[in-house]
């Protein structure tokens, strides 16, 4: 829990300013508790999953809340020993933590808007990741202690570990701003394995997001890094395709009614219950992710249900690129001919090349743009 709060208090690059957010989102999925947070810059996402093996208590209800972890509770957590009891009572309006030193009550607070956008972006981005490496505890400690704070680097599988390189090659994982993994280091002594996830890359690829997951006794802690230190997840635009696809809105409404805070959302079961094809269920889950209703668990390669105070209609308003694109279309400023879209802005014509791959247009982030006067 301190690792999750530590990320929420951090900002990369570190700048002076107002007090950091310290309000993790807490979700009870029945057999587990999940604690999620973002760094102040929204470039680092972390989630602690406390699994059934790490819990001993009664589940009265399932749901999501978000609370502000203040200094008294942080000091209490720091004093909890390896065999000391820690009792958490999580409700819709507060979280009460009780240790041998006493109790602390943290009330529900409003989520920052950037966090809301970040949650939507992270689940879309990480759902496209694949496992790239799994390291033993010893190799994980060696790697994390060797990562410096220099320019963007890449990690390439090499034997039972990862080798650092300055250039992307197939199978590599981006490590932009490796110092942003600092929240993992205090937990290395409890680690059983480190799993690394990322998208497929080739030679000459641009930096991409990555995820680093510690396997702990009864728990998992994952830290996801944005492609660059100065890029936050909240502005990546990965949700734009799902927001722009009006045909999945009705499917998302139907699937949303079938969710019940499951720790693992089964696509085939939802398809059976809804009568929709599996590809339509997946599209609906992506749309629900833009509303913060689902997250993505890399370890289980599955979505999970949570509820955030966020909706797809608000998401459109919070994504100026989509709002401005629709305004251009409504103004008749866009003309598409084959793989080239011509966009008229004033007396300038911008030509955007959108290659068709496998019968489908590329997703956002894969567009090649050329502007001509």
Tens digit of each residue's pLDDT (9 = 90 or more) over 117-171 = 888 889 889 988 999 999 999 999 998 888 765 565 899 998 889 988 888 889 9
Answer yes or no: do 67 and 140 share one domain.
no
101 phi, psi to nearest 5 deg: -90, -5
Q: Per-residue pLDDT averaged across 19-47, rounded?
A: 85
Question: For position 362, what pLDDT does the model report?
Answer: 44
- Last-in-domain residue among 113, 148, 170: 113
Answer yes or no: do 221 and 247 share one domain.
no
Answer yes or no: do 290 and 202 share one domain.
no
Q: For residue 165, give Cα distances in angstroms to 134, 158, 173.
A: 18, 11, 10
Nearest 5°: CA angle at 120, between 325 and 220? 155
Residues 6+ apart with CB under 8 A from 9: 20, 21, 22, 40
Structural domain includes residue 34: yes
Task: Give, to the nearest 10 degrees, the angle between helix 278-290 and helix 267-274.
Answer: 100
Residues 6+ apart with CB under 8 A from 287: 242, 243, 245, 248, 249, 251, 252, 312
Answer yes or no: do 225 and 257 share one domain.
no
Structural domain includes residue 320: no
Token output for 259:
């969710």
Structural domain includes residue 361: yes
Question: For position 311, what pLDDT does the model report?
Answer: 60
- Last-in-domain residue among 233, 262, 290: 233
| Mean pLDDT rounded to a whole number for the chain | 83
Structural domain includes residue 323: no
pLDDT at residue 19 above 70? Answer: no
Alpha-carbon span 184 to 214, nearest angstrom: 8
Answer yes or no: do 10 and 102 share one domain.
yes
Residues, the chain: 373
Answer yes or no: do 194 and 265 share one domain.
no
Structural domain includes residue 325: no
Q: Which of 69, 31, 68 is nearest to 52 (CA)?
A: 31
Q: Which band of pLDDT confidence, cut at 50, 70 and 90, is reported for residue 270?
A: very high
Q: Which of 315, 300, 293, 302 is nearest to 27 (CA)?
A: 293
Answer yes or no: do 259 and 341 share one domain.
no
Q: What is the pLDDT of residues 39-68, one digit of tens each?
A: 988 899 999 999 999 888 888 788 888 887
Range of the domain at 17: 2-113
Answer yes or no: do 98 and 72 share one domain.
yes
Answer yes or no: do 229 and 246 share one domain.
no
Residues 18, 266: contact at Cβ < 8 Å? no
Answer yes or no: do 15 and 85 share one domain.
yes
Structural domain includes residue 11: yes
Answer yes or no: do 109 and 134 share one domain.
no
Q: Which band of pLDDT confidence, cut at 50, 70 and 90, is reported for residue 72?
A: confident
Q: Are strands 340-345 and 334-337 parallel, antiparallel or unpaired?
A: antiparallel
Residues 123, 303: contact at Cβ < 8 Å? yes
Nearest 5°: CA angle at 293, between 43 and 363? 60
Residues 26, 90: contact at Cβ < 8 Å? yes
DSSP structure class, residue 58? -
Question: For position 300, what pLDDT does the model report?
Answer: 93
Structural domain includes residue 327: no
pLDDT at residue 278 above 60? Answer: yes
The CATH number for 105's domain is 3.70.10.10
Question: For position 245, what pLDDT does the model report?
Answer: 63
- Last-in-domain residue among 233, 248, 271: 233
Give every strand in the sheet of 348-353, ordered side by side: 334-337, 340-345, 348-353, 368-372
pLDDT at residue 265 above 60? Answer: yes
Q: For residue 266, give Cα distances in angstroms to 167, 269, 274, 310, 356.
A: 38, 5, 12, 23, 31
Answer yes or no: do 7 and 107 share one domain.
yes
Structural domain includes residue 229: yes
Alpha-carbon span 202 to 223, nearest angstrom: 23
| % pLDDT > 90, the chain | 30
DSSP track, 201-246: --TTPPP--EEEEEEETTEEEEEEE-SSTT--GGGS-TTHHHHH-G
The CATH number for 140's domain is 3.10.150
Output b/e per residue, 291-329; b: 16+ Cβ within 10 A. Answer: bbbbbbbbeeebbbbbbbebebebbbebbeebeebeeee
The CATH number for 258's domain is 1.10.10.10
Overall number of domains in the chain = 4
């Amino acid at each position: 829990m301190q690792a999750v709060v530590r990320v929420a208090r951090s900002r990369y690059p570190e700048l002076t300013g107002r007090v950091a957010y310290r309000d993790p989102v807490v979700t009870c999925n029945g057999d587990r508790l999940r604690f999620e947070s973002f760094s102040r810059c929204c470039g680092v996402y972390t989630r602690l999953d406390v699994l059934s093996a790490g819990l001993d208590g009664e589940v009265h209800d399932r749901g999501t809340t978000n609370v502000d972890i203040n200094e008294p509770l942080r000091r209490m957590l720091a004093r909890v020993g390896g065999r000391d009891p820690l009792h958490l009572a999580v409700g819709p309006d507060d979280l009460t933590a009780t240790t041998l030193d006493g109790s602390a009550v943290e009330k529900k607070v409003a989520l920052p808007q950037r966090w809301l956008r970040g949650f939507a972006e992270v689940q879309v981005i990480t759902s496209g990741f694949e496992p790239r490496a799994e390291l033993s505890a010893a190799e994980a400690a060696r790697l994390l202690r060797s990562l410096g704070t220099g320019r963007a680097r890449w990690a390439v599988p090499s034997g039972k570990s990862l080798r650092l390189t300055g250039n992307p090659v197939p199978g590599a994982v981006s490590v932009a701003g490796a110092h942003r993994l600092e929240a993992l280091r205090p937990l290395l002594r409890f680690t059983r394995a480190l799993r690394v996830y990322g998208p497929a890359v080739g030679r000459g690829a641009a930096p991409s997001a990555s995820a680093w997951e510690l396997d702990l006794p009864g728990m998992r802690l994952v830290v996801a890094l944005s492609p660059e230190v100065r890029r936050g997840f909240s502005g990546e635009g990965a949700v734009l395709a799902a927001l722009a696809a009006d045909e999945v809105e009705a499917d998302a409404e139907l699937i949303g009614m079938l969710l019940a805070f499951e720790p693992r959302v089964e696509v085939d079961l939802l398809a059976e219950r809804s009568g929709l094809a599996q590809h339509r269920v997946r599209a609906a889950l992506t749309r629900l992710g833009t509303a913060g209703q689902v997250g993505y668990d890399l370890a289980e390669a599955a979505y999970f249900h949570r509820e955030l105070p966020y909706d797809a209609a608000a998401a459109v308003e919070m994504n100026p690129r989509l709002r401005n694109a629709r305004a251009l279309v409504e103004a008749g400023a866009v003309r598409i001919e084959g793989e080239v879209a011509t966009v008229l802005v004033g007396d300038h014509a911008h030509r955007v090349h959108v290659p068709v791959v496998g019968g489908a247009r590329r997703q956002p982030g894969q567009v090649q743009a050329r502007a001509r006067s």
